[in-house]
Chains A and B, each alone.
Chain A
Amino acid sequence: MDKRQLYDNFIAIEEEMKRMLSSFETIKSDMTGVLENNAELEIENQHLRERLSEIERQTSKDFNESSDANLSKSRQNLEKLYDQGFHVCNIEGMYGSRRVDDEPCAFCLDLIYGEREI
């Protein structure tokens, strides 16, 4: 009798695990969907931001002369990298390393916005 019940319990647990596995799979595929959606939204958001800043630049051109409009293409690239949280200065070979806690770096800003005699 006892042995029989033990076996039944095993069957029950097996069923339970199978059910859990299948729900795992559904959750996983759901999550993949959400992540994809998130990436798409992020890209769309970036596009919208770009569009927005473009519009802002057009409307308030004289307000802030330091805005991207005056930067050369290569400086804009550096600015983009900096804004993503990386060093663009090369003090002690730091170029491309992560800015700790996104703290500002005076050397990077000088490279991006500073005057440079060529």
Chain B
Amino acid sequence: MEFTINRSAFIKQLTDVQRAISSKTTIPILTGIKVVLTASGLLLTGSDADVSIETFLSVEDEANNLTIESTGEIVLPARFFSEIVKKLPQDTFSLTVTDGYQTEITSGSASFNINGLDANNYPHLPEIDTDDNLIFSGSILKQIISQTVIAVSNQESRPILTGVHFVIENGEFLAVATDSHRLSQRKITLQGANDSKYDVIIPGKSLVELSRMIDDSNPDIEMRISENQVLFILGNTSFYSRLLEGNYPDTSRLIPNESATGIEFSAPKLLSAIERASLLSHESRNNVVKLAINAAEQKVVIYSNSPDVGNVEEALEFSNLSGNDLEISFNPDYMKDALRSFGQTEIKVAFTQPLRPFTLVPTEDTTQFIQLITPVRTF
């Protein structure tokens, strides 16, 4: 196996593949990166058994400047290999596998010899045997991921809730995540998905890695789902993730259908008020802020109290307050996460009862995106 390649093109792909490689894996060969050289190009693979990333550098792409002397395959220690390649002196470098699994990397006058491993011992990538695919625009998928993963649970004791629930039915795509304290749900209409019907749970961590790989140069992303794997194809790169097994709890009944009190805020202004209030709530034992709504006087005030430090009170700016008076307490951190996901926009908050969850939706479009927060009971 011997080839020469443009270093910066190679590093770009290597960085993507490295996202999948973890130093904490229990299977030693997975700390390595698999390099397969065929007549048509170079295939790089990285995996941590949950997530696998594969990328192809074609011989036909001139930017790669790939010249192949002889084909073959090898597994190289990922950490050293990438650090070495990144620090090589010239614009191109050559890689040669010599005796056994000895690998020589040369660029200009620098020459490294590192020990590789037999590529036959590298685990096989999952196989996705379906042609049924769904196409997302990269920026939409990235947005959906960032809006839902905030609500994913990080408690390993509740494995199902560490994933995002993807439901595709009747040409509609729904992504929902909850850690049982709050919930985030996003809906879009998916072009060309009329017959597809899927119900899968994708680990939140995988989606975070995936969204980091989506940049502006990836306009479309193809998604394929098999029984226990999902595959996302971004140009020359394939991203495989394990699916979580089990049934996702029914979240539709958590979202209230009607409301007793409705009010509108500007998301960034409410966010800064909540941030101020949480300065003190973080010091107290139960970390809550209280929101008091008085419909008759048209007044909305948030309070937070920390017995050791002091208390804060702030009258909020709002519009369109209607319904019953209400006092409700909640964890400000969940509120902050939810408000950040709205960005610079007007939002509508709807309450039912002091002990039931309340919802936040954008005022402009109240059905596509919804955040739900469960209040804290105070005595």
Contacts and interface: CB of A to CB of B under 8 A. Distances in A.
A70 to B, nearest CB: 11
B353 A113 contact: yes
Interface string B148-160: 0000000100111
B331 interface: yes
A105 B249 CA distance: 13
Contact of A66 (B159, B160, B178, B354): B354
A91 B249 CA distance: 7
A110 B182 CA distance: 13
A81 to B, nearest CB: 13
A78 to B, nearest CB: 13
Contacts, number: 57
Interface stretch (A26-34, A35-43, A96-104): A96-104
A18 B331 CA distance: 53
A83 B376 CA distance: 10
A64 B352 CA distance: 11
A7 B254 CA distance: 77
By DSSP majority rule, is chain B's interface helix, strand, loop, or mixed?
Answer: loop
Contact of B181 (A83, A104, A110): A104
Given A66-B355, A91-B180, A106 B254 contact: yes
Contacts of A89: 180
Given A91-B158, A94-B158, A106 B286 contact: no
B182 to A, nearest CB: 8
B181 A106 contact: yes
Contacts of A100: 155
Contact of A92 (B161, B331, B377): B161
A26 B356 CA distance: 51
A107 interface: yes
Interface residues of A, number: 19
Given A92-B160, A113-B356, A103 B181 contact: yes
Interface string B255-298: 00000000000000000000000000000001000000000000
B24 interface: no
Contacts of B332: none
B372 interface: yes
A89 B374 CA distance: 14
Contacts of B372: 106
Interface of B: 155, 158-161, 178, 180-183, 246, 249, 253-254, 286, 331, 353-357, 372, 374-377
17 contacts: A66-B354, A66-B355, A66-B356, A91-B158, A91-B160, A91-B180, A92-B246, A100-B155, A103-B181, A104-B331, A104-B374, A104-B375, A105-B374, A106-B183, A106-B357, A106-B374, A110-B254
The 3 closest A-B pairs by CB, nearest first: A104-B374, A66-B353, A106-B374
Interface of A: 64, 66, 83, 89, 91-92, 94, 100, 102-110, 113-114
